[in-house]
């Protein structure tokens, strides 16, 4: 029985490897473009979103639930540090004025805390919660409270 498949050639192996590398590169570029488009859309929402009464009630319900579960803080939300005017540098280094680097509606969340929650004994903080590739990634916004009343 004769084998009719073409003979194996190194040239064909190199061509197949190059085609596969090109396919992976194109997929990576498409994924990166999609990620950039999503970030741009999210950034636009952050700049234009207005906090609603439902948003506040949902946040308060989450705080109550975390408190009832014995937690000391709640990560209210997270967002890419790239949206901060300094890329999250002030937040990461705990520098004065970090709250002024919060973009759009995220600064309004800070103002809501200052206006409605601070006097009630709640704390507000932000910190970098991951470091993909060694650089600041997402920022977490936290509402906290004491473990016990003094």
Q: What is the DSSP track for 6-59?
A: PPP-HHHHHHHHHHHHHHHHHHHHHHHHHHHHHHHHHHHHHHH----HHHHHHH
Strand arrangement of the beta sheet that strand 123-128 belongs to: 73-80, 138-144, 123-128
Q: Say what the pLDDT of residue 149 is.
A: 84
Q: What is the pLDDT of residue 50?
A: 92
Residue 1: predicted pLDDT: 58
Please report, for the chain, the start and end positions of each structural domain, with discontinuous segments joined by +. Answer: 9-48, 51-144
- pLDDT tens digit at each of 150 positions of the chain: 566 788 999 999 999 999 999 999 999 999 898 888 898 888 898 889 999 999 999 999 999 999 999 999 999 999 999 999 899 999 999 999 999 999 999 999 999 999 999 999 999 999 999 999 999 999 999 999 998 887
This model's pTM is above 0.85: no
- Per-residue confidence (pLDDT) for residue 40, from 0 to 100: 87
Alpha-carbon Rg for the chain in angstroms: 24
Tally of CA atoms within 13 A in the half-sphere of 6 that contains its CB? 6
Closest CA to 56 of 6, 105, 12: 105
**8 Å CB contact between 81 and 101:** no
For residue 94, with 0-12 CB atoms within 10 Å meaning exposed, 13-18 middle and 19 or more buried, which class applies? exposed
Residues belonging to the chain: 150
Residue-level pLDDT at 3: 66
Q: What is the pLDDT of residue 122?
A: 97
């Amino acid at each position: 029985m004769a084998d009719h498949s073409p003979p194996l050639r190194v040239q064909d192996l190199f061509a197949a490897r190059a085609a596969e590398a090109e396919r992976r590169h194109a997929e990576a570029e498409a994924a990166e473009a999609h990620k950039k488009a999503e970030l741009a859309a999210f950034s636009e929402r952050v700049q234009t979103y207005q906090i609603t009464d439902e948003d506040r009630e949902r946040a308060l319900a989450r705080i109550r639930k975390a408190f009832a579960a014995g937690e000391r803080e709640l990560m209210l939300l997270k967002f890419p540090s790239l949206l901060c005017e300094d890329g999250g540098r002030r937040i990461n280094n705990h520098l004065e004025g970090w709250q002024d680097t919060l973009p759009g509606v995220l600064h309004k969340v800070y103002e809501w805390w200052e206006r409605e929650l601070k006097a009630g004994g709640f704390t507000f903080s932000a910190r970098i919660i991951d470091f993909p590739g060694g650089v600041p990634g997402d920022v977490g916004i936290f509402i906290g409270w004491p473990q016990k009343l003094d």
